[in-house]
Each structure stands twice: as structure tokens, then as C-alpha cells.
Amino acid sequence: MDPKYRSLLEKQQYRICGDHAAVKLCHWAKESITGRRHCYKQDFYGIVSHRCLQMTPAINECSHQCSFCWRVQGRDYEVTEWMEPKDMLDCLIEQQRMLITGYKGDSRVTPEAFEEASNPDQVAISLAGEPITYPYLSDFLKECHRRGMTTFLVTNGTYPERLEALDELPCQLYVTVAAPDEKTYAEACRPKIDDGWERIVKTLELLPSLDTRTVIRHTLVDGINFFDPEGYAKLDKIADPDLIEPKGYVFVGGSRQRLSMANMPPFEGILNFSTELGELVGMEVLKERSDSRVVLLGTPGVETDIRKVCADRLKVN
């Protein structure tokens, strides 16, 4: 990693492990530890927000340069030495503990909340880059599950062969589908590869065969990809996911250099879009969070608590 790039990431409150892994406290973890608010994933999936480890094992590269991404772009590089999964997880947890050190003296933070935050039980493998390019991802997932930690993996869908090769799957697999058609995909995701759309379709075709909870996330940007629910529904029917998350773009991070606040869809628009999409794919609105501009679609009665969904894989030795 270029030293100037590392310095930039550290100024943005990333903490780096080795030459490729990173952790960062998200806004909702900070809100949760002080007893104010929590992330929508706590409402949707039962996750305690301040116990979530938001990380990436591969900050070094991504096949997309999405217009809506908060990541610093244009800094991809080759990793010469990858950390072993156990060492990487230990390092990331230790770095998260360093990031929360100052909260110990905050009068709003109870000793119980600080202790919980020091011992995360959920790993969000999604911070930046494309996580599935980490070569030991299966072993990393096994290590997380061995420690009783639930796992979410977010992928952009352009690595179907790597996804198919995993012999350990996350508790919940997200695939981001940010366009209803190939032309819109090129504008919204700005792929660095020629066959990105074909690869995403292959990933969607693969999803029904995977023995894990699957979620399609539609990141919706006003003026770019926030239209054509019929087109999104056609793709969702290929993937046959357990859940769908239509989520409005938020004006944060590096995306502020490319977009404006006008690109943030109002929640009412997201809700209307979600309702129409649900009717097209045979789902209904299960939950919603207006402050996060997100809706959860699924079939009535589906279990959403991730610890219950993943109980058979969580083994603490």
C-alpha cells in the first residue's frame, strides 16, 4: 500500500491490518454505544450495532468505480502478502478496540455497552473494496463462525467463480444490483472490466443453489438508476433471494465528489418503489427505516433474526 494512501485512510479513521485489511467504526456504532440510536440492521436482523465489526479483507481493489461509493477510488494495487485469517481477525478486533478507547470515559456509555463493543459478535464484510478477492475468505468465515460471530458478506457480483468456490458461506450474502439493465449498469457502476454485466447475471443465476440466506440490495440513486422496477424485478426473479433491500443513496464519503444531495431519493419514493417491486416478485414490505432510506422485502413470516438463521454454523470452541 502506498504510504500516502495509508495516511489518507488513517485520517479518515480507517485502521489497517497488514497491507490489505481495514476496519472502521460506522456512524451507527457510535450512536449505539452512546445509547442514542442504532443501525437499521438491528431492526431488520437483530444485530446489536455497537457489536458489529465493519471491515474489509481486501481494501486494495474493486472491479467497479461506482458513482455512489464512499470509497477513495483510483488507488488499486496488488497485494504481495495476504494475512492469515486468524491473525487478520485478531488484528481487526484489536484495532476496533483502539478506535473505541475514548468512549470508556464518556458518561453516556455504560460499562456494559463498552464491554460489548470491545467484543464484537457480528462481522460486516463490506467496508470497501471487493471482499471476495481475499484468497482465504472461506477460512476467514470459518474462523468467525467458530468464535460465534455472525457474518454478512457484501459483493458486487462480478466474481461468480469465487463465490461458487467458497466452501464456507456467510450467514447472510448480499449481492448489490445497482441497475435494471446493462446500459444503466455502465453509468452507475462504471465497471473496470468489459464483462461485468454478464458476470453479475451469472452470480444471480448461482444464488438459488447456495445454502445460505441471500439478499439482493438495490442501491438507488435519483437521476441515475432509480427507475424501472420491472427491470429490477426481472433480475430478482433470476436470483430468487430470501430478502430484497431497496436502499436510497446517501451523500457521504467519496461520492460527494461525483454526486450531489439531489441524488438522494426521498424515503417516500423508496417506499413506493419497494411496494411496486414487491408486488412484481411476490413479496411485501416487512420492515422499513426512514432515516436510513431502506425497506426490507420478503415473504410473510420469514425469519429475519440472523442468529437464529445461522445458529447451526455458530460454534464456539
- List, in order of start, the domains of the chain with CATH numbers: 3-300 (3.20.20.70)
Query: pLDDT category, 316, cuts 50, 70, 90?
Result: low
Give the mean pLDDT of 10-15: 91
Looking at residue 298, its pLDDT comes to 98
Which of 27-36's residues contact partners 24+ apart within 8 Å by CB, and which partners? 29/54, 29/117, 32/113, 33/100, 33/103, 33/109, 33/113, 33/114, 33/117, 34/103, 34/106, 34/108, 34/109, 35/108, 35/109, 35/110, 35/113, 36/108
Q: What is the pLDDT of residues 160-189, one digit of tens each?
A: 999 999 999 999 999 999 999 999 999 999
C-alpha cell read off for 185: 449498469
Per-residue pLDDT at 265 exceeds 90: yes
Instruction: Supply the pTM of this predicted model.
Output: 0.94
The pLDDT mean for the chain works out to: 94
